[in-house]
Amino acid sequence: MRQNPRERERQEKLLKQYEKRRPDIKQQFEEGQNRNFNKNTRGRQGNQDNRNNRNNQNGNQNQNQNQNNTPEQSANAKRKVELAVNTRRGEMVHHQRMLSSDVNAQATQHIVGIPVNKSRYNGFGGTQITSNQAKNNRRDPEAVRIIPLGGLGEFGIGKNMTVIEYKDEAVIIDMGTLFASDDYPGINYMIPDIKYLEDNLKKVKAVLFTHAHLDHIGACRHLLPMMGNYTPIYGTEFTIGMIKKQMSELDDEPDLNYQVVDPFKHEKHAVSEHLSVEFVHTLHSIPGSTNIIVRTPNGAILLSGDWRFENNPVGTPADYGRLLDVANSEGFSLMLNEATNIDSPGTHPHSEYDVGDNLGLVMDHYANGRIIVSCFSSQLGRIELILNEAAKRNRKVAFAGFSMINNVEVALRTRAIKIPKNTIMKMEELIKLPDDKVVVICTGSQGEMNAVLNRMVTGAHKYIKVKSTDTIIFSSNPIPGNEPHVVSTVDGLLREGAQVIQNGKSHINNIGPLHLSGHAYYEDHVKFVTDMHPLNYMPYHGEFFMLEHSAEMAENVVGIHKDNIIVVDNGDVVELGQDRKVRRTGRITVGSKLYDDADNPVHEAVVKDRVHISREGIFIIILTLSKSNGHLIKTPDIISRAFIYLDNSEELVGKIRHYLRNKTEHSANVDLKTLKEEIKDDVTHILFDSTGHTPIVIPVINKV
- Which residues form the interface with Zn ion (CB under 5 A)? 213, 215, 306
Position 273, amino acid: E
Task: Give the span between the Cα atoms of 293 and 271, in whole angstroms.
Answer: 12
Task: Give the span between the Cα atoms of 441 and 447, in whole angstroms.
Answer: 15
Task: Give the span between the Cα atoms of 592 and 194, in whole angstroms.
Answer: 9
Task: Give the span between the Cα atoms of 321 and 300, in whole angstroms.
Answer: 17
Q: What is the DSSP letter of 334?
A: E
Nearest distance from C-beta of residue 156 to Zn ion, angstroms: 11
- Neighbour order of strands in the sheet with 592-595: 178-179, 189-192, 592-595, 601-602
DSSP states of 157-217 as a string? S---EEEEEETTEEEEE----EE--TTSTT--EEEE--HHHHTTGGGEEEEE-S---HHHH
Nearest distance from C-beta of residue 160 to Zn ion, angstroms: 6
H helices within 436-498, ranges in order? 452-458, 483-495
The H-or-E segment that residue 619 falls in is strand 618-625
Compare residues 592 and 649 and give the one whose CB is closer to Zn ion.
592
Task: Give the span between the Cα atoms of 343 and 537, in whole angstroms.
Answer: 18
Query: Which class for 144: exposed (0-12), middle (13-18), buried (19 or more C-beta within 10 A)?
Result: buried
Compare residues 193 and 306 and give the one whose CB is closer to Zn ion.
306
Nearest distance from C-beta of residue 221 to Zn ion, angstroms: 18
Compare residues 149 and 501 and give the one whose CB is closer to Zn ion.
149
Query: In 104-141, which positions are buried (b, 16+ CB within 10 angstroms) versus exposed (e)?
Result: eebbebbebeebebebebbbbeeeebeeeebeebeebe
Q: What is the DSSP letter of 54?
A: G
Task: Give the span between the Cα atoms of 414 and 242, in whole angstroms.
Answer: 10
Task: Give the span between the Cα atoms of 433 and 580, in whole angstroms.
Answer: 65
Which three-class secondary structure state does DSSP give residue 260? strand
Task: Give the span between the Cα atoms of 44 and 57, in whole angstroms.
Answer: 12
Residues 6+ apart with CB under 8 A from 367: 393, 436
Query: Which class for 25: exposed (0-12), middle (13-18), buried (19 or more C-beta within 10 A)?
Result: exposed
Task: Give the span between the Cα atoms of 527 and 345, in whole angstroms.
Answer: 13
Nearest distance from C-beta of residue 286 to Zn ion, angstroms: 6
Nearest distance from C-beta of residue 174 to Zn ion, angstroms: 8
Compare residues 43 and 158 and give the one whose CB is closer to Zn ion.
158
- Nearest C-alpha neighbor of 317 from the set 292, 350, 280: 280
Compare residues 215 and 319 and give the one whose CB is closer to Zn ion.
215
The H-or-E segment that residue 509 falls in is helix 506-509
Compare residues 145 and 213 and give the one whose CB is closer to Zn ion.
213
Compare residues 476 and 664 and give the one whose CB is closer to Zn ion.
476
Nearest distance from C-beta of residue 480 to Zn ion, angstroms: 14
Compare residues 107 and 223 and give the one whose CB is closer to Zn ion.
223
Nearest distance from C-beta of residue 152 to Zn ion, angstroms: 12
Nearest distance from C-beta of residue 342 to Zn ion, angstroms: 14
Nearest distance from C-beta of residue 305 to Zn ion, angstroms: 8
Nearest distance from C-beta of residue 216 to Zn ion, angstroms: 6
The H-or-E segment that residue 400 falls in is strand 396-400
Task: Give the span between the Cα atoms of 349 and 25, in whole angstroms.
Answer: 80
Compare residues 340 and 489 and give the one whose CB is closer to Zn ion.
340
Compare residues 304 and 585 and give the one whose CB is closer to Zn ion.
304
Nearest distance from C-beta of residue 441 to Zn ion, angstroms: 20
Task: Give the span between the Cα atoms of 538 and 567, in whole angstroms.
Answer: 6
Compare residues 207 and 456 and give the one whose CB is closer to Zn ion.
207
Compare residues 306 and 555 and give the one whose CB is closer to Zn ion.
306
Which three-class secondary structure state does DSSP give residue 502? strand
Compare residues 243 and 457 and give the one whose CB is closer to Zn ion.
243
Compare residues 215 and 604 and give the one whose CB is closer to Zn ion.
215
Nearest distance from C-beta of residue 252 to Zn ion, angstroms: 29
Residues 6+ apart with CB under 8 A from 686: 83, 84, 85, 652, 655, 656, 659
- Neighbour order of strands in the sheet with 582-587: 257-260, 232-235, 204-208, 169-173, 161-166, 144-150, 572-576, 582-587
Q: What is the CA radius of gyration of the chain?
A: 33
Nearest distance from C-beta of residue 158 to Zn ion, angstroms: 8
Nearest distance from C-beta of residue 383 to Zn ion, angstroms: 16
- Nearest C-alpha neighbor of 611 from the set 493, 704, 695, 492: 695
Compare residues 333 and 340 and give the one whose CB is closer to Zn ion.
340
Nearest distance from C-beta of residue 291 to Zn ion, angstroms: 12
Nearest distance from C-beta of residue 701 to Zn ion, angstroms: 53
Compare residues 156 and 513 and give the one whose CB is closer to Zn ion.
156
